[in-house]
Structure 1
Amino acid sequence: MILEYAADGDLRTLSVRGLAARMRVSDASIHYHFGSREQLLNALVDALTSDFEPPPGQADWRAWLRDFAHRARRSLRAHPGAADYMLLAGPVAGRQYAIIERALEVLQGGGLEPRESWLIYATTVNYVLRQVQAEEAHAAKTAPGRRTDHRMAATLDAPQTPPLPRLKAVVDSAWLADFDRLFDYGLEALLRGFGPMDRAEGERP
């Protein structure tokens, strides 16, 4: 019950007092179950990550990672502030550890070395978290002229700006704010680039 209420809002502004007021209970009742705001956030984020893991049965590690990344993005977007907290706190509890273990099992089962498996998993997670952060920052800029694409469009249309036709075509196309396309393209670029590294040189063969 407490976690359900806590998940219904922005994690960046979550407070024990505010949560207790919404639930019409005392602060002490929240603290009884969760000793501090940090413990509450840890439990909440850990619960959210249960939606990240793809179902069993995918043999290809790239397909598993692709599914994982899309599931994680959907869950994080549904809970504003979760990406910020996960970047700040890192893995904090049991479900997250279990997902890491499963990811390493899938990657190593695909023939990757333990170190490579960790680097690939960590890079994918960081990519998802950073992309969700960027989307949330963009969504927060609702006032006219604050959004990056709006500012760039205004600057490019100003008389004193020299002609920049290629950049203007990008801005006019709304590609800057097409986060679904940006996410998919970046994820596919990562997945295609991942692979075994040369042990001697640290570079791809």
Structure 2
Amino acid sequence: MATRHERAGLSREKVLDAALELVDQVGVDGLSMRKLGAALGVEAMTLYHYVPNKDALLSGLVERTATRAFTVDAAAGWQAMLRGFAAGFRRELLAHPGVVPLVATRPVTTPSALRELETAVAILRAAGFGTREAFHVVNTVATFTTGHCLAEVDPPGAAPPALAGPDPAALPHLAEAVRDGLGTPADHEARFAFALDALIDGFARVLARRSPDEGGRASTPSAQGDHQGGPASA
């Protein structure tokens, strides 16, 4: 005989997808097992068959988002790979703004995300980065993308803040920037692309400064002990 869960047509994936939609509508603070159960047409207690508590539900939302967001093109060169990864990650996060704060504060350790990370590191290693450097590169791009999305999204139901036109006499540069679309979606897109280009250009310079006998470490001032604080720690 079919169980009540089976009759309801539920699965863990369906529960998480419904929770993701609910968070997009009411935010993380508005998410509850009761509301989620109502959205799925079941009693709240039914959901505990799939997630033991709300904390596990929130971690599941990060897992579900990461599974769809973390994609790496194994055939791409390292720069194209990083650009594609950042663009896809940002696109998925902006599609579900309510979950962005969760992704920013909870570790992403799903098997699929770790496999994508391994692929990204392999591409960077083949390009000449050391293993630790490769992890630093991916983490830097992921952290930058998450932080940028945090700055882009508004709380569910909130109206985007309007930046009043500043006094051109007192703040001429800010006034010009506002006239040119500062804070608009197009501005966010341009700002993201600009900063990502700067990051990747910086990573490329790390490779360009590398000497052949360094065995996977960059010839940066800190690596050579020229930084005021002394040699970089291993």
CA deviation vs aligned residue, 1:7-36 (integer Å, no higher than 9, x gap) = 213252322221111111111211111111
Give the C-alpha shift of residue 83 in structure 1: 2.1
Per the alignment, residue 4 of structure 1 pairs with: 17
State the TM-score, normalizing by the size of structure 2: 0.74
Aligned with residue 174 of structure 2, among 129, 143, 167: 167
User: Which protein shows a greater Rg?
Assistant: 2
Question: Which deviates more from structure 2 when the two are superposed, residues 7-16 or residues 119-128?
Answer: 7-16
Q: Over the residues paired in the alignment, what is the CA RMSD in angstroms?
A: 2.3
Give the C-alpha shift of residue 141 in structure 1: 5.3
Per the alignment, residue 104 of structure 2 pairs with: 87
Amino acid at match of 2:58: L
Aligned with residue 184 of structure 1, among 193, 207, 210: 193
1:27 aligns with 2:38: no
Per the alignment, residue 36 of structure 1 pairs with: 53
Corresponding residue pairs, total: 192
Q: What does 1:103-118 correspond to in 2, within 5 Å?
A: 103-118=120-135
The structure-2 alpha-carbon separation of the partners of 1:46 and 1:139, relative to structure 1 and needing over 3 Å to count, comes to closer
Which structure: greater helix fraction? Answer: 1
Per the alignment, residue 139 of structure 2 pairs with: 122
Structure 2 residues not aligned, in runs of 5+: 1-13, 208-217, 228-234
| Aligned structure 1 segments of 4 or more residues deviating by more than 6 angstroms | none
Amino acid at match of 2:119: R
8 Å contact 2:67–2:110 — kept in the other structure?
no
Amino acid at match of 1:200: Q
1:132 aligns with 2:149: yes
The structure-2 alpha-carbon separation of the partners of 1:202 and 1:187, relative to structure 1 and needing over 3 Å to count, comes to farther
The structure-2 alpha-carbon separation of the partners of 1:201 and 1:140, relative to structure 1 and needing over 3 Å to count, comes to farther
Q: Helix, strand or coil: the match of 2:154?
A: helix
